[in-house]
Each structure stands twice: as structure tokens, then as C-alpha cells.
Amino acid sequence: MNTSFATDIGQTSEQSAALFAKVACDIRERGYSILPEALPEPLTRQLLQQVSNLDETEFVAAGIGRQSDFVHEQRIRSDEIVWITGDTPPGALWCQWTDQLRLILNRQLLLGLFSFESHYSHYAPGAYYARHLDAFKGERNRVLSVVAYLNPEWGDNDGGELVLYANQEDATGVKVRPQRGTLVVFLSEDFPHQVLPAQRDRYAIAGWFRTNTSTATRIDPPR
Ligand code: OGA
Ligand code: MN
């Protein structure tokens, strides 16, 4: 890893490796990891700058499901999203950082994570995402969910918390404030979660590590 990458991102490869090892350890022990101040500040600053400068027309209302079963479901979620590509400098840094995470998770947990897809999400005041799972049992498609928060200051009354539930029966959950730098990683099939209504503009990234479920007759696209 070259030095300019470490400078741009604000974290040396040793620091990232230690952090990613901690994520792997948490996933092994309890299936999820919540780490405040995990994302280096220069990286979140560049990502926030990019997402907050995007033109409103670049956002699309978020949907549920993939391709043919894709629906816009206002009752379930009301955020809007923009997919992240490696074609811009902040997008490229984010993709490199998460790829290093992918390699460490594969080495330590043998998950066979193959690809990563992620989008910015913007929750305008009042927007939310009702309780849901990111993947369905047995699909082995989205294996690990990653959420990264970009909001510099998030007060007690700003709402928009992520609530992560231990299982389908859990009604209490763990609340996570969407504060810049916090990284949340969890097994996509196992943890129902929701986003409480935000009281102000809320910027985050949601991403998924996937296994390759292509077959000889059907190519599984990465989205
Ligand atoms: C999602 C999601 C959580 C968050 O986009 O699927 O659950 O805190 N996001 O933004
Ligand atoms: Mn989700």
C-alpha cells in the first residue's frame, strides 16, 4: 500500500489491518461489530463532501429487492440513494478500504466474500427505514452488511438511529447514533434492523459483501 493512499485516507495500512481484525473477531464472536471512530476522518470528509455536492437529480428513491422484484415502497423506506463507483477519488478510496476489509475477513473467517456493492443514502428530515433484513436465509447472496456514517455532529435529539436486533424475536435492539466515523458490520441474514426517522439530513453509506452466486447459465450481476 503506498503512502499517498494512507495519507488520503488518514489511516496507515497497519491501523486499518488492526481495525479489520477487530471487525473479524466481533463477527466471529457475536455476528456483528459496532465500532465508533473507526472510519478515518479524511476519508469520511471526502465521502461527505461528495455526497452532499451531488445534484438532487442523481439520487433515486430507494427500492426493496433486486431487479424484477424491485419495488418502491414508501411505507418501508423513504431514503434516497446513489450507488458508489470507484470512478471518483472518494469512491476509489472507499472501494480500496473496503477491499482490504474483505481480504482480512476472508482470511480470518473463510467467508468467501467475492464482491462489494455500496450506495450513499440520504435521509431527509422525516425519512426512515422500517425493520427489515438485508438478505433472506439460504440465498447466500448478501453475506455481510456494512454501514458507515458521515454526519459530523449528531445530537441526542436528531433521531435517525440504527436499531440492530439480535434476532426476529428481539424487540429491544441496540441503538447506534449515525455519527461520523462509526462503522457497523453484521451478518446480513441474521440481524433485523431499522432506521428511526431522522430529524435532519442524514448521510450514510450502506454496503454489502457478496459471494459469487453465478452459475454456468446465469450470471449474477453485482447489484
Ligand atoms: C440499509 C440500512 C442502515 C443505516 O440501507 O439497508 O439498513 O443505518 N441502512 O443507514
Ligand atoms: Mn438494511
What pLDDT is stored for residue 105 in this prediction?
Answer: 96
Is the confidence at residue 172, as pLDDT, over 60? yes
Residue boundaries of the structural domains of the chain: 3-209
Which three three-digit cell numbers place residue 16?
486499518
Residue with CA nearest ligand 1 atom 2: 206
Determine whether 193 is exposed, middle or buried from the number of CB atoms within 10 Å of its CB (0-12, 13-18, 19+). Answer: buried
Q: Which CATH number fits domain 3-209: 1.10.540.10, 3.40.640.10, 2.60.120.620, 3.30.930.10?
A: 2.60.120.620
Mean per-residue pLDDT of the chain: 90
Q: Which of 185, 193, 223 should be mutated for ligand 1, with most atoms under 8 A from CB?
A: 193
Q: What is the DSSP string of 178-201?
A: -BTT-EEEEETTT--EEEPPBSS-
**Eight-class DSSP state of 222:** -
* 102: enclosing H helix or E strand: helix 89-109
Kindly report which listed range (58-72, 160-174, 197-211) carries the lowest average pLDDT score: 58-72
Is the confidence at residue 37, as pLDDT, over 80? yes
The pLDDT-based confidence of 62 (bands split at 50, 70, 90) is: confident
* Residue 195, ligand 1, Cβ within 6 A: yes
The pLDDT-based confidence of 214 (bands split at 50, 70, 90) is: low
What is the 209 CA–ligand 1 centroid distance (Å)?
14
Read off the pLDDT of each residue in 40-54 and give the average, rounded to a whole number: 95
Query: Rounded to whole angstroms, how far apart are CA atoms 46 and 84?
Result: 13
What is the 147 CA–ligand 1 centroid distance (Å)?
6
pLDDT above 70: percentage of residues in the chain = 88
What pLDDT is stored for residue 65 in this prediction?
Answer: 66
The pLDDT-based confidence of 216 (bands split at 50, 70, 90) is: low
Query: Rounded to whole angstroms, how far apart are CA atoms 138 and 150?
Result: 32
Residue with CA nearest ligand 1 atom 1: 206
pTM, rounded to two decimals: 0.91
Read off the pLDDT of each residue in 40-49 and give the average, rounded to a whole number: 96
